Chains A and B, each alone.
Chain A
Amino acid sequence: MSQADLSAEATIARPGTARDYLELLKPRIIMLVVFTALAGLVCAQGVTGVTMNPVMATVAILSVALGSGAAGAINMWYDADIDAVMSRTATRPIPSGAVPREEALTLGLVMSAVSVLLMWMSSNAAAAILLAISIAYYGWFYTMLLKRRTPQNIVIGGAAGAFPPVIGWLAVTGTTPLDPWILFAIIFFWTPPHFWALSLVAHKEYEKADVPMLPVTHGAKATRRQIFYYSLLLAPLALTPVLTGLGGWVYAVAAAGLGAIFVGFSIKVLRSRAGEPDAGAPERKLAMGMFAFSIFYLFAIFAVLLVEHGLGAYVPVGGLT
Chain B
Amino acid sequence: MTQIQLTEEQLMAQKRRNRWLAFALVTFVVVVGTTTAIRLQNVDLSKSEGLYFDGSMDPGAGSAALDGAEDE
The answer to whether B13 and A16 have CB atoms under 8 Å apart is yes
The answer to whether A17 and B13 have CB atoms under 8 Å apart is yes
Known A-B contacts A53-B38, A118-B35; A15 and B56 likewise in contact (beta carbons under 8 Å): no
Q: Mark A252-263, 1 if CB is under 8 A from B, else 0.
A: 000000000000
Interface window among A119-127, A157-165, A286-294, A309-317: A119-127
The answer to whether B9 and A18 have CB atoms under 8 Å apart is no
Known A-B contacts A16-B13, A55-B35, A56-B38; A121 and B52 likewise in contact (beta carbons under 8 Å): yes
In the complex, A250 has a CB within 8 A of chain B: no
Q: From B10, B16, B31, give the contact of A118 (CB < 8 A).
A: B31
Instruction: A114 to B42: give the CA distance in the assembly, Å.
Output: 23
Q: In this complex, what residue of A is CB-closest to B6?
A: A15
Query: Of residues 196 to 253 in A, which have CB atoms within 8 Å of B's CB atoms?
Result: none
Instruction: A199 to B35: give the CA distance in the assembly, Å.
Output: 43
Most chain A CB neighbours (cut-off 10 Å) among B17, B35, B42, B54: B35
In the complex, A280 has a CB within 8 A of chain B: no
Query: Of residues 72 to 101 in A, which have CB atoms within 8 Å of B's CB atoms?
Result: none
**How far in angstroms is the closest Cβ of chain A from B52?**
6
In the complex, A21 has a CB within 8 A of chain B: yes
In the complex, A185 has a CB within 8 A of chain B: no
Q: In this complex, what residue of B is CB-closest to A122?
A: B35
The answer to whether A15 and B35 have CB atoms under 8 Å apart is no
Known A-B contacts A121-B52, A174-B56; A62 and B31 likewise in contact (beta carbons under 8 Å): yes
In the complex, A59 has a CB within 8 A of chain B: yes
Q: In this complex, what residue of B is CB-closest to A19?
A: B16
Contacts of B42 in A (CB 8 A): 53
Q: In this complex, what residue of B is CB-closest to A128?
A: B52
In the complex, B63 has a CB within 8 A of chain A: no
Q: From B20, B36, B54, give the contact of A121 (CB < 8 A).
A: B36
Total number of residue pairs linking A and B with CB closer than 8 Å: 44
Instruction: A53 to B34: give the CA distance in the assembly, Å.
Output: 12
Q: Mark A117-158, 1 if CB is under 8 A from B, else 0.
A: 010111011100000000000000000000000000000000
Known A-B contacts A15-B14, A18-B17, A174-B54; A121 and B39 likewise in contact (beta carbons under 8 Å): yes
The answer to whether A15 and B20 have CB atoms under 8 Å apart is no
* A interface bracket (residues with beta carbon within 8 Å of B): 20 to 34
Query: Of residues 8 to 66 in B, which have CB atoms within 8 Å of A's CB atoms?
Result: 9-10, 12-14, 16-17, 20, 28, 31-32, 34-36, 38-39, 42, 52-54, 56
Known A-B contacts A114-B28, A121-B52, A174-B54; A15 and B36 likewise in contact (beta carbons under 8 Å): no
Interface residue SS majority, chain A: helix
The answer to whether B20 and A18 have CB atoms under 8 Å apart is yes
Instruction: A104 to B41: give the CA distance in the assembly, Å.
Output: 38
Contacts of B35 in A (CB 8 A): 55-56, 59, 118, 121-122
Q: In this complex, what residue of A is CB-closest to B42?
A: A53
Contacts of A55 in B (CB 8 A): 34-35, 38
Known A-B contacts A15-B9, A55-B38, A174-B54; A121 and B32 likewise in contact (beta carbons under 8 Å): yes
Query: Of residues 153 to 193 in A, which have CB atoms within 8 Å of B's CB atoms?
Result: 174
Q: In this complex, what residue of A is CB-closest to B31?
A: A59
The answer to whether A15 and B13 have CB atoms under 8 Å apart is yes
- Which A residues fall within an 8 A CB radius of B? 14-18, 21, 53, 55-56, 59, 62, 114, 118, 120-122, 124-126, 174
Q: A18-B20, A55-B38, A126-B56 are in contact. List 11 more A-B contacts (CB 8 A).
A: A15-B13, A16-B13, A17-B13, A17-B16, A55-B35, A56-B35, A59-B34, A59-B35, A118-B31, A118-B35, A124-B54
The 4 closest A-B pairs by CB, nearest first: A15-B13, A121-B35, A15-B10, A18-B20
